[in-house]
Each structure stands twice: as structure tokens, then as C-alpha cells.
Structure 1
Amino acid sequence: MLGFVKHLFGLKQKEELDYMKKFLIVGLGNIGPEYVDTRHNIGFKILDHLIIKEDLKFETVKLGDRCEYKLKGRTFVLIKPSTYMNLSGKSVKYWMTKEKVPLENLLVVTDDLNLPFGSIRLKTKGSDGGHNGLKDIQQQLGTTKYSRFRFGISNSFSKGKQVDYVLGKWGEEELKLMPERLDKSIDLIKSFGLAGSSITMNTFNGK
């Protein structure tokens, strides 16, 4: 009997350990060819860059495209929602439940108008900043205390042209700098899972 109890306790410990070693990485964007390579789709672009580097593939599943990436004992579940930006929270909530990922292991990758182009910043909480995707995630999860990785797209647009700007294509100079910025971005994602949010913020924010 004692051996059976130890066995059950061991299983529980293993399940809890596996639970903490799984991370949900959600890149925000809009589906459809007209949105490819637009500033608002940087979340998709960063996850695409990661799977190309690691020779992986996305599979179309419920509420998005999914890919599983394993690194040093951690499992990264990568999701590109198919709900369109404004309903991103539906996909995030579904996959958190489906994959049994704790809130502290969720990372949302998104664009940010308030940061210079290519600047990267990890935050563990905060407002939606007027971003419709983050707004829906906050509503679906009922909290602002989740990690988000903000990639700067700058605010180089004239008055009244914000929508055209965020849904516009990257400029020539931005595209020249993009490969290095994408490499740095996937390093941040890996660090989030391997080293934790505090070390990752100290290492990457503003870099």
C-alpha cells in the first residue's frame, strides 16, 4: 500500500513538473494573404522565423495554427490564432485550457506603436495600450497579469493614418534590419522558457 501511495505521489509530482515546463507562446496577427508582412502581423512573423530556424512546421488546428517545439526539457506550444486580431483572446483561452498551461507560462507576442522599430520589451503585466488583440485577451482571461512580448513598430504615421500604418507593409530600411531583430526575438522567447521572466527582462528589454 505504501508503495502504491509513493507511486501516486510520484506521478503527481511529475505531472506538476511537466505542467510548469510547458509554455504557450501566442503570436498575434491576422490570417489571409493580404496581411502577410504587415506591421500588425509581427507576432506571426516571429513565430514563423522560429519554426524555420528549427526546421519545424505549423499544423492547422482549432482556432489557429499549432507547432510544438522542445528545448532543454521545456515544451513550447506555438500558436498563431485564426480568429483575427480582435478575437485573439478566444484562441488564447482555448489553448491555455487545452494544453493545461499556467498563466505565468503564457507569452503573447505583439506589435507596439509606442516603441521604436525593432525595440523589444517583455512585460509580465500591463494595460492593453489600445491594442485590440490584447484587449480581447484581457477580457477572456479576466486579468492583465500575463506576459507580453512587445516588438516596436514605431509611430511614424501622420494624423488619422494609424490603421493604414499598422496594416501596411514594412519599409525597405525596416526589412534590411529585420533578420537580426527576428533572431533576437526568438532568443527572447527561448529565454522566457529557460531562464524565466525576470532574467529575460534584464537581458533583452531595450536591446
Structure 2
Amino acid sequence: MSIFDIFAKLEKEKAERESAAGPVEWLVVGLGNPGSKYNGTRHNAGFRALEHYCAKTGQRIDKMKFKALVGEGSLGGARVLFIKPQTFMNLSGEAVRDAASFYKIAPDHIIVLSDDISLDVGRIRVRAKGSAGGQNGLKNIIYHLSSDQFPRVKIGVGAKPHPDYDLADWVLSRFTADEQEGIDHAVDRAMQAVEEIIRNGPASAAQLYNGKG
């Protein structure tokens, strides 16, 4: 990238920040469990995506509100509230409901990042709506919003190593050293997919990111 490309990129980002200085239009929710004992676990893939994004961009998600850590920022030319619910996975919907009610955000402007055991590590999948697919955080969000009409970006964490392996133990296990590069790649692409959803909708994001490594 030349110096001219860098300046053009900075000018574009500045213009987007200025255009997105109004009220919150979107919620971007990363799912996980709070506390250091859960850091790096498969179930915390949603948290990891937001943390990875913060490390790259300087975005801060550090204010306590709506039973969650939150931070306002801009993404895809829109004003966004980033949310990390602190209620533990099974009650994630409480934070999402409270934030959506406060900012008057419709379900189709709530994007949820979650782990998915049906996808290999390194893969992501965009869905415009649908059932929870057994993911308890999504299930609770659907319950509290009384709607499943919200887009979600599913981050692959790999299937159980064998059928008898306890599911809870699996999703609360940590990624192996060999999987670290794959999950970092996936969470980076997950946030790119979030941006594409905001800019051009879930269908465009699905076309760009589903089924591709």
C-alpha cells in the first residue's frame, strides 16, 4: 500500500466517523461468558471477535450498561453499539433486549456473533434470521426479543472429537495451539462480515463469506 493509499484510507475512515456521529442505529453483540476462566474457550468466540476488532481498531468496549460491557463506535458508515453481555451465555438476551429497547433498535439491526460447533475452525456463516440451532445464547435472545428475525454471524469452533464427548465440556474447552491461526482468521472475517451486513445486507455478506475460508 502506497502512502497515497494510506492517506485515502484515513480520509475515508474519518468521513465515515463523521457521518456516523448520530444516534445508535445498530447493535453488534458478541456472545460469551464473563470472567478470566472462560477466556479463550470455544463458547467465547463472539467475545473474541469483538476483542480482536478492538485490538485492530482501538475501539473500546468497557462501559457497564444493560448488564453488559458496551462501547459506541462506527462501522460500515453507521453508528453502532458494541455489546458483550455479562450475564453468562444462557441469559444473553437480557442485555440485548434492554439495549434494543433503549435505542429503539429493530431486530433486523441487531447482529449477533456466536460460536457454532457445526462449522470447522476457521469458517464462518452468515444468516439473516432463523432458529437458535441449539446455541443457548441465541435461544435466549430470540426469547427476549420475541423474534428470530435478526442477522447473525456464526463462527466455527469445530465439532466434538467423538459422539460421547460432553457438549458443555467441549464448548468450554480452549482452542489448541494448531487451531489458533484458524480462529483468529475466522474472527477477523466475522467482523468483516458484520461490516458488510451493515453496508449491503445479510444476503451480500452471505455471498461473500459463507463456505469460504
User: Given the two structures, how large is their TM-score scaled by the length of structure 1?
Assistant: 0.86
Of 127, 133, 138, which residue of structure 2 is paired with 1:134?
A: 138
Cα displacement (A) at 1:157: 2.6
Query: Matched residue of 2:142: which SS?
Result: helix
2:44 to 41, 45, 53: 41
Task: Please say if 1:185 is aligned against 2:151.
Answer: no
Residues 71-124 of structure 1 show CA distances to partners (whole Å, capped at 9, x for unaligned) of: 453112110001110001101101111222221111111001111112111111
Q: Which residue of 2 aligns with 1:15?
A: none
Percent identity reads: 32
Q: Look at both structures and tell me which one has the larger radius of gyration over its CA atoms.
A: 1
1:197 matched to 2:202? The reply is: yes
Aligned twin of 1:3: none
Determine if contact 1:20/1:102 at 8 Å carries over to the other structure: no
Q: CA RMSD in A?
A: 2.0
Q: Alignment length, in residue pairs?
A: 191
Amino acid at match of 1:197: P
1:43-86 residue CA offsets vs partner (Å, 9 max, x unmatched): 00001111111112122312111112214531121100011100
**Aligned-pair distance for 1:134?**
1.1
In the alignment, structure 1 residue 144 sits paired with structure 2 residue 148: yes
TM-score, normalised via structure 2 length: 0.83
Matched, 1:122 2:114: no
Question: What secondary structure sits across from 1:75 in the alignment?
Answer: strand
Structure 2 unaligned segments of length 5 or more: list them.
Answer: 1-20
Look up the match of 1:58.
61
CA contact (8 A) 1:19 1:100 kept: no
- In structure 1, what residue type is equivalent to 2:203? S
Q: Report the alpha carbon displacement of residue 135 of structure 1 after superposing the two structures with TM.
A: 1.2
Runs of 4+ in 1 over 6 A off after TM superposition: 18-21
- Distance of aligned partners of 1:72 and 1:110 in 2 relative to their CA distance in 1, 3 Å threshold: closer
Change (3 A) 1:31 1:58: same
For 1:1-207, list aligned pairs within 5 A.
Answer: 22-62=25-65, 63-71=67-75, 73-158=77-162, 159-207=164-212
Contact 2:41–2:173 (CA<8 Å) still a contact in 1? yes
Gaps of 5+ in 1: 1-17
Distance 1:21 1:95, change over 3 A: closer
